[in-house]
A and B are shown apart, each in its own frame.
Chain A
Amino acid sequence: MPQYSVSKPGGTLIIMDECGNVVEADTLTCCHCGRVWQHRKGSGIARGFCRKCMKPHCGDADCWECYPIAQRIDDYEKGKRLVI
């Protein structure tokens, strides 16, 4: 079990040091911009949860409004958006 875990992780980060000690940590993925971050309880970083996507978001200023990553990429490919 990862030392830093959440109930529905988006991924796992595994770090092995020179002595072979392994640290595992769950990661979460922003449902709006696709950013991945390591879950760290008590970090003080404000994250959010989208009630439409029912997934966590990274808390970036652009991510508080529901605009799913798939839609952002679609719009970017169609030229409706300059930056994903």
Chain B
Amino acid sequence: MRKFFGFGSVAVGTDKTLITLNATAAVRPRIYEIMIGCKATPADAASHFTVGRITALGTEGSGFTPVELDPANPAAIADFGVGVFSVEPTYTANKELWSCSMNQRATVRWIANRESDMLVAPATANNGLGLKSKTSTVTTAHEASIYYEE
């Protein structure tokens, strides 16, 4: 398994995607670590973040080539979508895989212990996993980092 990293940041709000991990027909990417924090001046405000399955990638602000954690690795097959999405990805309803509500002043980190506990996307084109703010009391920029393997 090869490990990769990527990050994205946007102003949070209602259904604002921070980053998507886009699978291909050739690979099942597996997220094993997520970090979320506020990159602007934080206030006492709350945001609710979720990771869900996506079945259409939407229109990302820009692409982000996954960074190999081991420089000897070949390039990643999956890739990230970051930036402000002009068209939000299509999320599978009521099937969120990961959820966390947090104060803006806090930093959240989640780590999977084993491969069977990672968040897995199917090896299907235009599918993947997306991390978004589902609701938020403010529109401050937050940053999300994702580590995954494929």
Whether B2 is near chain A, meaning CB under 8 Å from some CB there, is no
User: 0/1 per residue, A14-36, Cβ < 8 Å to B?
Assistant: 11111000000001010101111
Interface footprint category on A:
20 to 34
Q: Which of A12, A17, A34 contacts B106 (CB 8 A)?
A: A17
- In this complex, which of B100, B116, B120 has the most chain A Cβ atoms within 10 angstroms of its Cβ? B116
Cα A84 to Cα B128 in complex, Å, equals 12
Interface footprint category on B:
20 to 34
Chain A residues contacting B100 (CB-CB under 8 Å) are 13
Q: Whole-angstrom distance from the CB of A19 to the nearest CB of chain B?
A: 9
Cα A84 to Cα B23 in complex, Å, equals 15
Cα A73 to Cα B108 in complex, Å, equals 28
Chain B residues contacting A33 (CB-CB under 8 Å) are 95, 97
Chain B residues contacting A77 (CB-CB under 8 Å) are 122-124
Q: Given A15-B107, A36-B98, A76–B122 Cβ distance below 8 Å?
A: yes
Cα A41 to Cα B82 in complex, Å, equals 36
Whether B92 is near chain A, meaning CB under 8 Å from some CB there, is yes
Residues of B within 8 A of A (CB): 28, 42, 53, 92, 95-100, 102-103, 105-114, 116-117, 119-120, 122-124
Q: List 21 A-B contacts (CB under 8 A).
A: A9-B113, A10-B117, A11-B110, A11-B113, A13-B108, A13-B109, A14-B108, A15-B106, A16-B107, A27-B110, A31-B116, A33-B97, A34-B97, A34-B119, A34-B120, A35-B95, A36-B112, A37-B99, A76-B124, A77-B124, A84-B122
Residues of A within 8 A of B (CB): 9-18, 27, 29, 31, 33-37, 55, 69, 73, 76-77, 83-84
